[in-house]
Amino acid sequence: MRLIRFLVAFACLALGAVVGALNRQLISIDLGVVHLPTNLGVALIVALLIGVLIGGLAISASLVLPLRRRLARVERQQRVAPLDAGTD
Provide the mean pLDDT of the chain: 90
Q: Is residue 87 part of a domain?
A: no
The string of pLDDT tens digits covering residues 43-83 is: 999 999 999 999 999 999 999 999 999 999 999 999 887 76
* Count of domains for the chain: 1
Residue 55 domain flag: yes
Q: Looking at the predicted structure, is the pLDDT value of residue 88 above 80?
A: no
Is 11 part of a structural domain of the chain? yes
83-88: average pLDDT: 60
Q: Residue 54 sits in which domain range?
A: 2-80
Q: Report the 3 state secondary structure along the chain.
A: CHHHHHHHHHHHHHHHHHHHHHCCCEEEEECCCCEEEEEHHHHHHHHHHHHHHHHHHHHHHHHHHHHHHHHHHHHHHHHHHHHHHHCC
The pTM score is 0.72
Residue 31 lies in a domain: yes
- Is 85 among the domain residues? no
Residue 71 lies in a domain: yes
